Amino acid sequence: MKIDLLCSSQDHPINPWLVRWREERAQQHEIRIVRSRDQLKSGDILFLISCAEMIPEKLRTLYGNCVVLHASDLPKGRGWSPHVWAILEGARIITVSAINAEDRVDSGDIWAKKTFNVAPNELYNEINASLFEAEITLMDQVIRMVENSDAPHPQPDEEATYYPRRTPRDSKLDPSLSIAEQFDKIRVSDPNRFPAFFEMHGTVFSIKLTRVESDD
């Protein structure tokens, strides 16, 4: 198969997973990793993975299938950074959905879903690892389904919910609150791209949370 992976940022932490996935399947498929919709050509499957651009229908039709990987149990949690918002709401199980790309955000038919657990002490990189492994598993599943001529199914007839786009301000902490009260906000913040921060004495401070391993 001819497969394109569109991930907008070369700095996104999923990139090592995508590179490894491409290398491991190079004998079975022709795979490209691209950064912009301007690089799209044609193929059997286009996977949209942390894609910041809307892909119009005229580009989607260049591919047999255009599939979005979205970290929520659709139709609940449409929108941006759904697994982060869900963890901030207290979720301990995250669902990742593989869906058809459509003009209306996250509304497409569902190919497959995969869940993973989030322990209350896991940090952003550990959560990301579970998320990316789930996405890789779904990509393989979609490929098998396409090879078998299986079709996706419509999203459940339930009321959809939506999350807003996250901004750096969503990682701002309140220094008057305890660490315990803000622990989830700290642990889901990527210290390299979207660090948790607070303002005090006219100065902005960022926080990097690191697990300390001990033999005690």
Structural domain boundaries in the chain: 2-163, 168-207
* Entry pTM: 0.95
pLDDT band of residue 8 (cuts 50, 70, 90) is: very high
Torsion of CA 8, 20, 117, 128, to 10 degrees: -40
**With contact defined as beta carbons under 8 Å apart, do 74 and 99 qualify?**
yes
Beta bridge partners of 202: none
The yes-or-no verdict on residue 151 having pLDDT over 80 is yes
pLDDT at 192: 87
**Residue-averaged pLDDT of the chain:** 96
Is 2-163 a domain of CATH 3.40.50.170?
yes
State residue 72's pLDDT score: 98
The answer, yes or no, to whether residue 215 has pLDDT greater than 80, is no
Residue 42, Cβ neighbours under 10 Å: how many? 12
Q: How many CA atoms lie within 13 A of 157 on its CB side?
A: 0
Which pLDDT band, with edges at 50, 70 and 90, does 216 fall under?
Answer: low
Write out pLDDT tens, residues 92-103: 999 999 999 999
